[in-house]
């Protein structure tokens, strides 16, 4: 079920990343409803799932550099080259994580320092308080991903402390409960898109302070409360309706990294040419069906065995080369120390 959950989320990540760059977009539209629904929930749910499987702090510290920071480090020069090839120019800014790479950057810090922050008294309450006030702190911007680092932290902590028994307790909704909850959550997204211009779509990224977006302090806090509440609602809903048997989405959920990394190339192309090289249907339903179809096609291709093997060959192969260089450096330092002693 968790693999299916992760597989569904990675499909929705692609839809989310294509929605605003694929062509005409406005907040008070069907696209606004889709975008606000996804941006308010997908990344938070991914953080939640990552936290749920990070309960062993020692293992998290041991594996976090290999599984998260290493792809991030490789992604910086890779996407610089991709941007240069597509647009003919590119910026190199190590202080700002490249598009979509912020997730790896932030998750690395959560997992690597799990043992340390678990020792902090009342860490959950403190993280929620910081989340609510993050929009009022000027330096919590997209520089080093600080805005998102603080804003997504409570969802990771909640997941780490969440047990299997607690998950089972929330998996008790009947079909009509799920229908009612889903309708209410969708209604909230409609209200936010059509009736709350005080919260522009940039707010839901949670990466810049309220002042930089022209949002009053109280609307920022209200928006953050709504985001946290609706995200909990969507997680509970999906935990109740997703199947527990193997399916294609569960396969996708076990191969999310190649999809997450490589779909950014497609996103750059969509941004440059708009969806299907400038073809923008007037019918909004058809338009977003095309976006969902493009996301589905990307998932189908990027989760295929040849692509997954190619990704693993490159990333893991370079990781072995990196470890080999580290070992050689250690041996060289050991020889130098022995010579100095002699």
Q: What is the pLDDT of residues 226-255, one digit of tens each?
A: 999 999 999 999 999 998 888 999 999 999
Pick 341 or 81 by higher pLDDT.
81
Pick 230 or 283 by higher pLDDT.
230
Q: What is the sign, positive or negative, of the torsion defined by CA atoms of 281, 43, 233, 296?
A: positive
Q: Is the pLDDT of residue 24 over 80?
A: no
Question: d(Cα 161, Cα 38) in Å, to the nearest integer?
Answer: 25
What is the signed CA dihedral for 306, 307, 310, 314, rounded to 10 degrees?
-170
**Structural domain boundaries of the chain?**
2-303, 304-342
Region 42-46: mean pLDDT is 92
Region 205-229: mean pLDDT is 93
Question: d(Cα 67, Cα 210) in Å, to the nearest integer?
Answer: 33
For residue range 132-147, list pLDDT tens digits in order: 999 999 998 888 889 9
Q: Is the pLDDT of residue 31 over 90?
A: no
Could you tell me which of 100, 143, 116, 105 has the C-alpha nearest to residue 271?
A: 100
Q: Is the pLDDT of residue 30 over 90?
A: no
Pick 339 or 37 by higher pLDDT.
37
- Identify the pLDDT of residue 10: 94
State the DSSP string of 78-119: HHHHHHHHHHS-----TTSPPTTTHHHHHHHHHHHTHHHHTT
In the numeric block, which tokens belong to residue 201?
A: 């779509």
- DSSP label at residue 137: -
Q: How many CB atoms lie within 10 A of CB 183?
A: 10
Cα dist from 37 to 4, 13, 43, 60, whole Å = 19, 11, 11, 30
């Amino acid at each position: 079920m968790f693999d299916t959950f992760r597989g569904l989320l990675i499909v929705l990540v692609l839809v989310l990343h294509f929605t605003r760059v694929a062509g005409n977009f406005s907040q008070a539209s069907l696209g606004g409803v889709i975008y606000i629904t996804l941006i308010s929930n997908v990344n938070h749910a991914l953080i939640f799932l990552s936290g749920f499987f990070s309960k062993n702090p020692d293992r998290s510290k041991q594996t976090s550099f290999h599984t998260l920071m290493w792809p991030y480090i490789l992604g910086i020069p890779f996407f610089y080259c991709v941007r240069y090839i597509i647009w003919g120019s590119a910026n190199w800014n190590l202080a700002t994580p490249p598009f979509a790479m912020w997730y790896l950057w932030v998750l690395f810090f959560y997992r690597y320092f799990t043992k340390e922050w678990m020792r902090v008294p009342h860490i959950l309450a403190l993280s929620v308080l910081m989340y609510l006030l993050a929009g009022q702190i000027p330096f919590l911007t997209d520089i080093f991903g600080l805005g998102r680092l603080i804003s997504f932290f409570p969802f990771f902590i909640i997941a780490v402390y969440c047990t299997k028994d607690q998950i089972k307790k929330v998996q008790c909704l009947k079909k009509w409960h799920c229908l009612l909850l889903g309708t209410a959550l969708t209604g909230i997204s409609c209200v936010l898109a059509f009736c709350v211009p005080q919260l522009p779509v940039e707010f839901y990224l949670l990466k810049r302070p309220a002042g930089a977006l022209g949002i009053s302090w109280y609307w920022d806090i209200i928006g953050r409360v709504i985001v946290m509440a609706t995200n909990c609602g969507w997680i509970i809903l999906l935990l109740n309706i997703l199947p527990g048997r193997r399916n294609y989405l569960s396969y996708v959920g076990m191969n999310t990294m190649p999809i997450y990394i490589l779909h950014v190339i497609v996103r750059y192309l969509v941004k440059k040419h708009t969806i299907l090289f400038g073809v923008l249907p007037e019918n909004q339903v058809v338009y977003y069906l095309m976006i969902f179809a493009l996301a589905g096609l990307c998932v189908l291709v990027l989760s295929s065995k040849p692509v997954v093997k190619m990704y693993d060959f490159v990333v893991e192969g370079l990781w072995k080369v990196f470890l080999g260089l580290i070992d050689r450096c250690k041996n060289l330092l050991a020889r130098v120390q022995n010579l100095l002693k002699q």
